[in-house]
Amino acid sequence: MTWALKRQIFYIVILVLFFSIFGFIIVYPKFNKEPTCVDGKQNGSETGIDCGGSCALACIAQVDDISVLWARAFRVIPGRYNALAYIVNHNQNAGIRKIHYRFRFADAKNIYIGKRESSTFIPPGGSFAIFEPGIDIGNSVPVYVNFEFTDQTPLWEQISPELNKQLKVLVSEIKLTDETTSPRLSAVIKNSSLFTIPDVGVIAILYDDKHNAISTSRTYLEKLGPLQSANINFTWPEPLGGTVVAKEIIPMVNYFSVKLQ
């Protein structure tokens, strides 16, 4: 082998090594990317494709359906009603940031007389209610109420078990007065956590001795700070349609908007 041939081979080897290293630098990252929650693959700690584990989204296959226990309309004054749907989320550590829903109303002959559509959030684990105020259906009386969520594939998001454990809102000192004239329900609500909770909707439901809901109302708190208590009041312009034997107050806390102080 001549000296010139050896030099050519040497140069060829150098070029091959150069392009091999250069190609490795270009190609390797494409085949060895860090797992993410938007790469269309089940990798890392995920329990499904881009869901579960460390991802924000919960896996649909691992989420139970929401149960709508009942939905009714309650007269406030002649021609005006409040509607309420009582719901259970069976998923202790998963909720929905935004979901659309629809109330539909029918009269005693089951003839459609109107609807109300809006959106809300779904808190994790437990009973909650969706309230629609001031429904005007003219001279019709809503006897049958149908409630449904209208999103086909809502996005379930995981709620940190630690947040779920810490974020507690307590209700105490519930008192109903003037039941036969102008009813007034009062209570004390307390944020027992270190989180600031904005836009707290508080729903009251009154029950008779057969545990049938006979009326409902809602009030708002603009903000409930860490360890803060507040007095809340609900009023009705007319006497209630029965004797109240039980009262339920449901604070609607949006877990997706709370902030640690």
In a domain, residue 9? The reply is: no
Of 159, 191, 220, the domain-final residue: 159
Q: Which residues of 4-25 are buried (b: 16+ CB within 10 A; e: fewer)?
A: eeeeeeeeeeeeeeeeeeeeee
Using only the alpha carbons of the chain, give its radius of gyration: 29
Of 159, 182, 207, the domain-final residue: 159
In a domain, residue 41? The reply is: no
State the Cα–Cα distance between residues 25 and 212, nearest whole angstrom: 70
State pLDDT tens for residues 238-249: 998 889 999 999
Q: Specify whether 168 is located in the same domain as 255.
A: yes
Range of the domain at 121: 66-159
CATH value at residue 245: 2.60.40.3230
Q: Specify whether 80 is located in the same domain as 115.
A: yes
Contacts of 119 (CB under 8 A, 6+ apart): 98, 99, 100, 101
Of 132, 159, 186, the domain-final residue: 159
Q: Specify whether 72 is located in the same domain as 168.
A: no
Contacts of 115 (CB under 8 A, 6+ apart): 102, 103, 104, 105
What pTM value is reported for the model? 0.84
State pLDDT tens for residues 25-60: 555 555 556 778 878 888 888 889 889 988 989 998
Q: Read off the pLDDT band of 115 (50, 70, 90).
A: very high
**Closest among 82, 68, 212 to 134, alpha carbons compared:** 82
State the Cα–Cα distance between residues 44 and 219, nearest whole angstrom: 44
Number of domains in the chain: 2
